[in-house]
Structure 1
Amino acid sequence: MSPSDTVPAGVRERDASAWQGTRHHYPEENVAHAALDLPLHAWLGRFTGNVSPAALALAWFDWSLHLMLSPDKQAELATHAASASLRWWQYCAGTAFASQAAPVEPLAQDKRFVDPAWQTWPYNVLSQGFLLQQQWWHRATRSVRGVSPHHADVATFVARQLLDAVSPSNFVATNPVVLEKTCARGGMNLLSGAARAAGDAWRAASGSAAPPGLRPGHEVALTPGRVVLRNRLAELLRYDPVTPRVHAVPLLIVPAWIMKYYILDLSPANSLVRYLVGQGHSVYVVSWKNPGAADRDLGLDDYRRLGIMEALDAVQRETGARQVNACGYCLGGTLLAIAAAAMARDHDRRLASVSLLAAQVDFTEPGELSLFVDDSEVSFLEAGMWSQGYLDTHQMAGAFQLLRSNDLVWSRQLRHYLLDVPDRQTDLMSWNADATRMPYRMHSEYLRQLFLNDDLASARYLVDGRPVALTDIQVPIFALGTRTDHVAPWRSVYKIGLLSDTETSFLLTSGGHNAGVVAPPGDAGRSYQFTTRAPDAPYIDPERWQQEVPSVEGSWWPAWEAWLAQLAGPWVEPPPPAASLGPAPGRYVLEP
């Protein structure tokens, strides 16, 4: 049997022309390696969390060798270590007799040592020693002359992960809060935590996941509607009007398929869909299928055709509208930008506007996710996807958890296993646990063509064999960025203004990638900045924009809806109900 016989037929027969325009031709070039290389890498990935050992080794050698050849940097680090040690010993001596100013303060987002118990001896000494080490290692992995920026980021990230694992807050004997709780409860908190840890370990080993606490159609995804289209990849949900008259131009929302659509239709108080329907918009939402091994050959263009283009056809058939407002969230926004550029190239004028929520179209500055995206990492990840046909939910969740390990790993384990504090059951957290998979081919194309090659921003991305350019889009564009987004950093989202030649509105809101989007009116502490830039207006860099644009208190939803209403046409009678394939939230969102 030849090596090619071990490759699935869909991969073996894939036309290489579909992979033009990139520096790589995966998987065709790897067919010859399918007998040993790919299975070996897939097997190794089970033990490394699908992190490439080669990528880590390259980053380590790049940093360590350049550090060895930098005597000035070594002297600087030695001086800093000596100074930090002296300050720590002085602090130790001072706190034994009186209060003493701390040598270093934790970062604003570091909440591990905020409890007053950490200010008592000896825990203050332990926490300060840890923070001084953290500070030294940050200096050690940054600003080493000659190290590539990517390898420096990886070295800093790995050092931070290793330090976080040995933080004194993680251990019973060195955490005063845990010790106090243990004494008060006679150790029952540790017993309950051990039972929880055993249950989590069993689920991880068996590959099963705890079911989400809030169920679509029961506690979340409750906005009344119906399924009006279903194909092998997506369902289209149409929501029932609640106002006597509606805007003539309907709204099509394209969420990311890395998540289930109902982040936009959580509990009624947090539902963006319900809010828009209440403002008189005819809302349609794409609900993606959760793919399995049989869907391994679905690519980005399949998502464009079966998700956006077929949904657009269905919306027009139902409403009779000549144009549709389109909105994409996260990866759905990236795909919508591709579709809009292809439609503009082909003189398809059916879009009235394009809204991109926390969506990137330029991937040169993708934030901390770039730590997991280089040629070595992508090739290693592809091997794991090749063996099973998709990217597993645990693989995605692990990467996102590492990016915020303090909040999502160690702090959770502290609360969950040592302090016996159960997880809060909120609609957003329940949705976050209801993860989805991604097809092998699609995710490989996404990582290589968009992340590695930046083909979309460079007008090299092919649709129907021809490149598309974002500058062809002539309809108004609305782009939303969130200030603390670690998935789509707002400065990266802001680049749509550089890559388009049309009127572009940009809104920057408080919060992160998910919590910043789910921001209903009435939530305390919300604020945003918002401007619209004419096509011929001069460019303003993001730092200057953030400094000059005034901040407005409140939710960004009304500001976007007001912008949308200007492009939604006159008020008309709601279109008559069409044939239904079943009530919302549909079938696909319920599939495990």
Structure 2
Amino acid sequence: MMEVKSLVNIPVLNLESEKKRWNNIYKVLSEPKPDIESTPRKAVWKKGKAVLWYHAAPEKKYSTPLFLVYSLLNKAYILDISEEGSVVGNLTKQGYDVYLLDWGLPGLEDKDLTLDNYLTDYLEIAVKRAIRHSGAKEISLVGYCIGGMLSAMLTSLTDLPIKNLILAAVPIDYSNAIIPNKWVKALQNGTLNFDRFADAYEVIPSEFLYSIFMALQGFNVGPTVNLVTRAHDQKYVDKWRNMDKWMKDAVTFSGAAFKQMMNDLYKDNKLVKGEMKIGGQKVDLSNIKCSTLVITSTRDELVLESQSLPIMDLISSEDKTYQHVEAGHVSLCLTGQFAFAIDPWLSTRSTRLI
């Protein structure tokens, strides 16, 4: 009898690996969310719900400290989410003292906080406190997403000694926002207005912002698929759990600031037009003259490259650099990659200790 050999290679099922994979999936779905252990820190300033954290470098190499500003719309611990993937931790290991502003969660008593308040009553005062605490003559301001927008606005308005400005995934031009074009047109012609919604809630619920965050990503199922296929890899599972915790750990948002963003930015695009006012003072980005690094990422699902690029032409800095990195909006922080992306540029523009 002729022997028939199969031409199809059937993979051998590794029972131990499969058992570990499905056990990890079950644990992820059933266990409480992981605890996040911060890089060693101490609070050096508080106001309302906001806290300014100081992270000292184990071996300080630069006298110029860093001040990190994250978005108002997400929690700042994405910048310090795990020992290996911590942006803060990796920056301190590179020899920088780091200050991180945690905006906190606004309650009903904070419903009238505007972007003006966040800039002048919180961010500017916190930067002053960091400079005084560090004893440094200058400071580097590092803003991510909405935090980058606020950092750029503050730099254009203040006379604080900001030596370097780093802006990552920063929305400046809202005519090209990631939201659907129909929404943009509806906002611009007034058929879509969030004022009554904000007035009714006073403080925007975290559930609403989480839903918007997910909708803008197209309810991406990729992370869940990745978990199922890579659940045998404990290192990946730990990273996935941290990301999942952060994404679902949504914030509340002041109704007044929400209306201001919807009307002044998404509707009227005032920042890029030079019409934005803070405390009655016009925000003129051409006032930015310090060394500036602008970073965008190739797979950013929330802030388009075209939203960030206009600032390169709007600022007056003679020393300005644009960098496009291989990452997503969240993964650039989650992996700690952001710290290594900015260090080559920043190290040559920070005062090195002898």
Match of 2:209 among 396, 403, 408: 396
Q: Which residue of 1 aligns with 2:293?
A: 478
Contact kept in structure 2, 1:334 and 1:359, CA below 8 Å = yes
- The answer on 1:563 being equivalent to 2:352 is no
Within 5 Å, give how 1:443-458 maps onto structure 2. 443-458=258-273
Secondary structure, counterpart of 1:309 in structure 2: helix
How much does 1:234 deviate?
Answer: 1.3
RMSD value, Cα = 2.7
Contact kept in structure 1, 2:115 and 2:278, CA below 8 Å = no
Q: Following the alignment from structure 1 to structure 2, what is the Cα–Cα distance between the partners of residues 327 and 270?
A: 18
Q: Following the alignment from structure 2 to structure 1, what is the Cα–Cα distance between the partners of residues 264 and 274?
A: 11
Q: Following the alignment from structure 2 to structure 1, what is the Cα–Cα distance between the partners of residues 179 and 83?
A: 33
Contact kept in structure 1, 2:166 and 2:293, CA below 8 Å = yes
How much does 1:273 deviate?
Answer: 0.2
Q: Following the alignment from structure 2 to structure 1, what is the Cα–Cα distance between the partners of residues 39 and 247?
A: 19
Q: Following the alignment from structure 1 to structure 2, what is the Cα–Cα distance between the partners of residues 384 and 369?
A: 19
Matched letter for residue 165 of structure 2: V
How much does 1:223 deviate?
Answer: 0.2
* Structure whose alpha-carbon radius of gyration is higher: 1
How much does 1:399 deviate?
Answer: 2.0
Higher strand proportion, which one?
A: 2
Q: Following the alignment from structure 2 to structure 1, what is the Cα–Cα distance between the partners of residues 131 and 103?
A: 20
Using the aligned pairs only, state the percent identity.
21
- The answer on 1:238 being equivalent to 2:46 is no
Matched letter for residue 223 of structure 1: T
Match of 2:38 among 195, 214, 222: 222
Contact kept in structure 2, 1:378 and 1:447, CA below 8 Å = no
Unpaired runs of 5+ residues, structure 1, are 1-192, 197-209, 417-423, 521-554, 573-592
In structure 2, relative to structure 1, the CA distance for the partners of 1:212 and 1:384 (3 Å cut) is farther
Q: Following the alignment from structure 1 to structure 2, what is the Cα–Cα distance between the partners of residues 504 and 371?
A: 35
Q: Following the alignment from structure 1 to structure 2, what is the Cα–Cα distance between the partners of residues 370 and 317?
A: 45
How much does 1:377 deviate?
Answer: 6.6
- The answer on 1:247 being equivalent to 2:58 is no
Q: Compute the TM-score of the two structures, normalised by the length of structure 1.
A: 0.50
Q: Which residue of 1 aligns with 2:326?
A: 510
In structure 2, relative to structure 1, the CA distance for the partners of 1:365 and 1:561 (3 Å cut) is same
- Deviation string, structure 1 residues 25-72 (Cα, Å, up to 9, x no partner): xxxxxxxxxxxxxxxxxxxxxxxxxxxxxxxxxxxxxxxxxxxxxxxx
Matched letter for residue 563 of structure 1: W
Q: Compute the TM-score of the two structures, normalised by the length of structure 2.
A: 0.81
- Deviation string, structure 1 residues 258-285 (Cα, Å, up to 9, x no partner): 1111100011010010000011101000
In the alignment of these two chains, the number of paired residues is 314
Unpaired runs of 5+ residues, structure 2, are 1-25, 229-236
In structure 2, relative to structure 1, the CA distance for the partners of 1:368 and 1:484 (3 Å cut) is farther
Q: Following the alignment from structure 1 to structure 2, what is the Cα–Cα distance between the partners of residues 405 and 516?
A: 19
Matched letter for residue 568 of structure 1: S
Q: Which residue of 1 aligns with 2:115?
A: 300
Matched letter for residue 237 of structure 1: W
In structure 2, relative to structure 1, the CA distance for the partners of 1:316 and 1:364 (3 Å cut) is same
Matched letter for residue 234 of structure 1: A
Contact kept in structure 1, 2:297 and 2:326, CA below 8 Å = yes
The structure showing larger relative contact order (alpha-carbon pairs under 8 Å, at least 6 residues apart) is 2
Matched letter for residue 253 of structure 1: L
Q: Which residue of 2 aligns with 1:280?
A: 95
Q: Following the alignment from structure 1 to structure 2, what is the Cα–Cα distance between the partners of residues 495 and 211?
A: 45
How much does 1:211 deviate?
Answer: 10
Secondary structure, counterpart of 1:321 in structure 2: coil
Q: Following the alignment from structure 2 to structure 1, what is the Cα–Cα distance between the partners of residues 349 and 32?
A: 38
Contact kept in structure 2, 1:357 and 1:481, CA below 8 Å = yes
